[in-house]
């Protein structure tokens, strides 16, 4: 930790990748925070969003396997590891640079039950397998890729999961997309619960 970070944010890494034009690690008050293309992807704000959603969703206590599509700083992976310490977790991210950053700066390499895979989520969902919970947390900086609201993608995710949790946006420009996603999920899951927090909307789908 640098003492200056207690006073002002300190940029300790700035890089890019074929998938993200601007990746920064800032140290703020002794903690690392990830910004991608100007958008926060870790830190107290992101952690607070997820904890707010968890507090209003009745997530099953019997989760033993979790798939997380979209790793970034690994905030949601750490939270689920705390909730289900014995569960196996697979984290998938298209960007190997993000996976390396997650290991080096955000402690993902210290979770023995975690396996990280550098692959496009669109390709990964074609694999065979089943997870008690699938988390879709796919962002390209401040935006969610359009394939997340496609029928083909969500049908493949449905085949893999027992429970589904999606972190999506409800800010200007996403109004119709939110409606489309909710309508699609209601066709695939017996119950769909939504939780709104600031510019985010969480969708929780239950099969039965």
The CATH number of the domain holding residue 155 is: 3.40.50.150
Give the start-end residues of each E strand in the chain.
10-15, 23-28, 31-36, 39-40, 65-69, 88-93, 114-118, 131-136, 161-169, 191-197, 200-206
pLDDT of res. 7: 59
Please check whether residues 48 and 18 belong to one and the same domain. no
Local confidence band at 108 (pLDDT 50, 70, 90 cut-offs):
very high
Close Cβ partners of 82 (under 8 Å, ≥ 6 residues apart): none
Please check whether residues 13 and 93 belong to one and the same domain. no
Please check whether residues 103 and 199 belong to one and the same domain. yes
Please check whether residues 92 and 67 belong to one and the same domain. yes
**Tally of structural domains, the chain:** 2
Alpha-carbon distance of 112 to 131, in angstroms, equals 18
Please check whether residues 50 and 119 belong to one and the same domain. yes
DSSP 143: B
Please check whether residues 145 and 106 belong to one and the same domain. yes
Reported as a single tens digit per residue, the pLDDT across 129-187 is 999 999 999 999 999 999 999 999 999 999 999 999 999 999 999 999 999 999 999 99
Please check whether residues 67 and 54 belong to one and the same domain. yes
Percent of the chain exceeding pLDDT 90 equals 90
pTM over 0.85: yes
Residue 4 reports pLDDT greater than 60: no
Contacts of range 186-195, beta carbons closer than 8 Å, 24 or more positions apart? 188/154, 188/155, 188/158, 189/158, 189/164, 193/57, 195/52, 195/53, 195/56, 195/57
Please check whether residues 77 and 163 belong to one and the same domain. yes
Which structural domain range is residue 108 located in? Answer: 40-206
Q: Name residue 25's beta-bridge partners.
A: 13, 34
Which alpha helices (DSSP H) does 57-140 contain, by range? 75-83, 96-105, 121-124
pLDDT of res. 123: 98
Owner of token pair 């900086």:
141
Please check whether residues 26 and 57 belong to one and the same domain. no
Please check whether residues 69 and 50 belong to one and the same domain. yes
Two tokens at 207?
Answer: 């099969």
Please check whether residues 28 and 67 belong to one and the same domain. no
Please check whether residues 76 and 89 belong to one and the same domain. yes
Reported as a single tens digit per residue, the pLDDT across 54-79 is 999 989 889 999 999 999 999 999 99
Q: What's the chain's length in residues?
A: 208
């Amino acid at each position: 930790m640098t003492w200056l970070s207690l006073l002002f944010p300190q940029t300790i890494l700035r890089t890019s990748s074929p998938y993200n034009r601007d990746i920064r690690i800032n140290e703020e008050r002794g903690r690392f925070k990830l910004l991608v293309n100007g958008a926060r992807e870790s830190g107290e704000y992101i952690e607070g969003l997820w904890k707010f959603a968890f507090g209003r969703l009745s997530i099953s206590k019997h989760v033993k396997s979790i798939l997380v599509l979209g790793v970034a700083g690994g905030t949601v992976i750490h939270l689920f590891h705390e909730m289900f310490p014995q569960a196996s977790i697979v984290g998938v991210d298209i960007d190997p640079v993000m996976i390396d950053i997650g290991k080096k700066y955000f402690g993902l390499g210290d979770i023995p039950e975690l396996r990280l895979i550098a692959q496009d989520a669109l390709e990964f969902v074609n694999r065979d397998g089943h997870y008690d919970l699938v988390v879709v947390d796919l962002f390209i900086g401040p935006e969610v890729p359009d394939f997340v609201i496609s029928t083909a993608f969500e049908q493949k995710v449905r085949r893999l999961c027992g429970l589904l949790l999606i972190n999506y946006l409800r800010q200007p420009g996403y109004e119709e997309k939110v409606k489309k996603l909710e309508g699609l999920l209601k066709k695939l899951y017996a119950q769909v619960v939504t939780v709104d927090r600031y510019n985010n909307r969480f969708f929780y789908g239950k099969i039965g």
